[in-house]
Amino acid sequence: MESIKIKPASEGLKVPFPMSRNFLKEKGQTVEKSGYWIRRLKEGCVVICKEEKKEEKKEEIKKVAKKTINKKTITSKTEV
């Protein structure tokens, strides 16, 4: 199952885990993407952490940079 990193929508908000007495950490936690957490997202109780989005962007930038470097290396070798 897919995982998502979420955190409470506002500081001090206590969002309980289903079937336990634990609460979601204020800094955010990675949880299984389930109906329970999707409902909390739609209600506005939790938000997806921006850090996860930044990590995805970093990975994408690395892939593009690697392709660009490889193209330049291949081009410079063939020009010589």
- pLDDT tens digits, 14-70: 999 999 999 999 999 999 999 999 999 999 999 999 865 566 667 777 777 777 776
Inter-residue contact 6 to 28 (CB < 8 Å): yes
Inter-residue contact 23 to 14 (CB < 8 Å): yes
pTM, two decimals, is: 0.61
